A and B are shown apart, each in its own frame.
Chain A
């Protein structure tokens, strides 16, 4: 009798694996990650990203501290509610329910994809605070771009490996996120 229980992968490792090998994580590990944990990652990522946008505007004298704080809050909303809505939209369009994938799975997988954004946003914030650099585009946008890769694998899984559909949906998601951020940045200014 085999008495050795399979070792559970820590969630932080799953989040890091999502950056290195998203295909494997999306296929085999996402059922073990609860959606609130994933949304916490995406929420934090966008909070830090939007905070840097506010700090960039503050440095150029275009805004004040209250707006910077408000922008960070907007980032939190964008990274939680916004990402969850986007995940549900793609889940519905790809008819993932027919493949046995739940809405919670879609939200969790989509949101955990922003682990890379979190790493970039955190690094950017350190550079912003210590060296006074403008980091929103260099680190924030790059971080969002890196999240497109796990998103792509999630969409492929949801759509049953439909290549053209996955390309179109990934483009749509990326465009919504980048244009949304650019519009909210204008609000801050």
Chain B
């Protein structure tokens, strides 16, 4: 008997790569520290830590919410949520590249609007990826959008009070 250990078919959890997503969060974390009036190493470290926490929360909460809301789909393919989040979150890349260009090419200090739009877009795209896999209902787009809004707002507020 084949043992799938929760991964009924398709790609296993190890095959979904999240490093580009975390790299985007790290880049945002670095740029936020450069947006402060005075550059400090402690700010950089704090900002990096915060960005990684937000990144981990975004990815894992999205996977959890998709798994919880689509029990039938989970029975057929245990890794559907990871795959959808892995693909959807890749769409942070355009916003990250544009934020770098805006910061270092145009000299703008507006990193957070790019980060916020990146999370919101990527989370909603993950939702549409889940729907492409057979999930039903607008909740798969709305819940990730609300989740992304809460996390990006929290990130923005914490960035504001950072030394």
The residue from B105, B117, B128, B141 contacting A179, defined by CB atoms under 8 A apart = B105
* A163 in contact with B90 given A21-B138, A21-B141 (CB within 8 Å): yes
- Residues of A in contact (CB 8 Å), total 23
Q: Are A148 and B101 in contact (CB under 8 A)?
A: no
* A137 in contact with B117 given A21-B138, A152-B91 (CB within 8 Å): no
Q: Are B98 and A163 in contact (CB under 8 A)?
A: no
Closest to B98 in A: A174
List chain B residues, Cβ under 8 A from A146: 117
Closest to B138 in A: A21
List chain B residues, Cβ under 8 A from A137: 108, 110
Q: Are B108 and A148 in contact (CB under 8 A)?
A: no
B45 to chain A, nearest CB (A): 28
Q: Are B124 and A171 in contact (CB under 8 A)?
A: no
* A149 in contact with B121 given A141-B110, A167-B93, A178-B106 (CB within 8 Å): yes
Q: Are A167 and B91 in contact (CB under 8 A)?
A: yes
A44 to chain B, nearest CB (A): 21
The residue from A23, A141, A153, A170 contacting B94, defined by CB atoms under 8 A apart = A170
- Taken together as a complex, chains A and B put the C-alpha atoms of A179 and B131 apart, in Å, by 35
- Taken together as a complex, chains A and B put the C-alpha atoms of A179 and B97 apart, in Å, by 13
Q: Are B97 and A23 in contact (CB under 8 A)?
A: no
The residue from A23, A166, A171 contacting B128, defined by CB atoms under 8 A apart = A23
List chain B residues, Cβ under 8 A from A95: none
B125 near A: Cβ within 8 Å?
yes
B8 to chain A, nearest CB (A): 23
B152 near A: Cβ within 8 Å?
no
Closest to A27 in B: B128
- Taken together as a complex, chains A and B put the C-alpha atoms of A101 and B128 apart, in Å, by 21
Counted as pairs of residues, one from A and one from B, with CB atoms less than 8 Å apart, the total is 64
B152 to chain A, nearest CB (A): 12
Q: Are B91 and A179 in contact (CB under 8 A)?
A: no
Closest to B118 in A: A145
Q: Are B90 and A167 in contact (CB under 8 A)?
A: yes
A189 near B: Cβ within 8 Å?
no
Besides the known contacts A23-B131, A175-B97, 20 further A-B residue pairs in the complex with CB atoms under 8 A apart: A21-B141, A23-B128, A23-B141, A137-B110, A141-B102, A141-B108, A142-B113, A145-B114, A148-B121, A149-B120, A149-B125, A152-B91, A153-B128, A163-B87, A167-B90, A171-B93, A171-B98, A175-B101, A178-B98, A179-B106
30 residue pairs of the A-B complex, CB under 8 angstroms, read A21-B138, A21-B141, A137-B110, A138-B113, A141-B102, A141-B110, A142-B113, A142-B117, A145-B113, A145-B114, A146-B117, A148-B117, A148-B121, A149-B125, A152-B121, A152-B125, A163-B87, A163-B90, A166-B91, A167-B90, A167-B91, A170-B94, A171-B93, A174-B95, A174-B98, A175-B98, A178-B102, A178-B106, A179-B101, A179-B105
Q: Which residues of B contact A (CB under 8 A)?
A: 87, 90-91, 93-95, 97-98, 101-102, 105-106, 108, 110, 113-114, 117, 120-121, 124-125, 128, 131, 138, 141
Q: Which 9 A-B pairs have the closest CB atoms?
A: A171-B94, A145-B117, A23-B128, A170-B94, A149-B121, A142-B113, A174-B98, A171-B97, A167-B93
Q: Which residues of A contact B (CB under 8 A)?
A: 20-21, 23, 137-138, 141-142, 145-146, 148-149, 152-153, 163, 166-167, 170-171, 174-175, 178-179, 182
